[in-house]
Amino acid sequence: MAQLQQHPGTVGRFHAARHDAGRPLAMGAWRVATEDDQVASAVADLYGGMPQPSSSTAGAVIEVLTSSDRVMVLLEEVSVAFRMAATGVDESLHACDGARFLEPAAKRGTVCGCPPGLSDRRAAALAGRGPSPEVRLGFRLAGRPGLGVFSLVSTSWEFAAEQPELADALRRAGTPLLCALVYERVDFVTRSGVPVSYRRPRVEIGGARVLSPAGMCLAV
């Protein structure tokens, strides 16, 4: 997988939750934020919902609370980026690819000291002794690929565990693939008998889809 980078050329961002008074609230369908009212209208036409003004730390945006928890997208190898990160108030304190530092700049390329296995990394993060995953997808909407590139950033451990297999499938395909981006509901019962449910992103690989040369670069 590629190293996690910012994609300033994206036209919109998919979110799995929204915030109320600083607290994340899970939703039952995808939320899409954009600064382009035409993009917002197209997303609403495709997936339901109504464009409405909102605000974020990045400034005013338009958001669409869609009625879809499953959307068809186009992905290729460079669409998937991964890193492990622990951040402070204003900057990254630790960013690595699981083996070597990406940030801070003074440590870039040196051994980061993270455990090799994701389960051990998760245990360290839960104990406050290690970074958490950040997975970024850059993709086009299969229904309207001409709109541009959208992004999704997830800190789900389950999603991170699935990325090597996804990246390998995209690499072997050598061409953009038609995939389903799913906002999956997970239900389970704790050892004490308490039912728990949550949602997390998942990618289902579908069939091959070839774009024109101008549309081949999905993550810009």
Q: pLDDT per residue over 75-107, tens digit each? A: 988 889 999 998 765 556 789 998 999 988 889
Confidence of residue 24 (pLDDT cuts 50, 70, 90): low
Q: Which two tokens stand for residue 27?
A: 């939703």
- E strands, 36-146, are 51-56, 59-65, 70-75, 80-87, 92-96, 101-103, 132-141
Go through 205-219 and write b for each residue having 16 or more CB atoms within 10 A of its CB, e for each that does not: eeeebebeeeeeebb
Return d(Cα 152, Cα 72) in angstroms, integer: 14
Confidence of residue 217 (pLDDT cuts 50, 70, 90): very low
pLDDT tens figures, 42-68 = 999 999 999 999 866 556 789 999 999
> Nearest CA to 170 among 135, 199, 208, 198?
208
Confidence of residue 1 (pLDDT cuts 50, 70, 90): very low
Residue 57's SS3 state is: coil
Q: Which two tokens stand for residue 107?
A: 């440590």
- Residue 208 has a pLDDT of 43
pLDDT tens figures, 117-156 = 989 999 999 888 889 999 999 999 999 999 999 999 999 9
Residue 158's SS3 state is: helix
Nearby residues of 42 by Cβ (< 8 Å), 6 or more positions away? 144, 147
Check pLDDT > 90 for residue 8: no
Confidence of residue 199 (pLDDT cuts 50, 70, 90): confident
| C-alpha angle 159-165-133 in degrees, rounded to nearest 5 | 35
Confidence of residue 194 (pLDDT cuts 50, 70, 90): confident
Nearby residues of 193 by Cβ (< 8 Å), 6 or more positions away? none
**Which one is predicted more confidently, 160 or 5?**
160
Check pLDDT > 60 for residue 5: no
- Residue 105 has a pLDDT of 86
| C-alpha angle 218-7-154 in degrees, rounded to nearest 5 | 90
Q: What is the average pLDDT score of the chain? A: 83
- Residue 21 has a pLDDT of 59
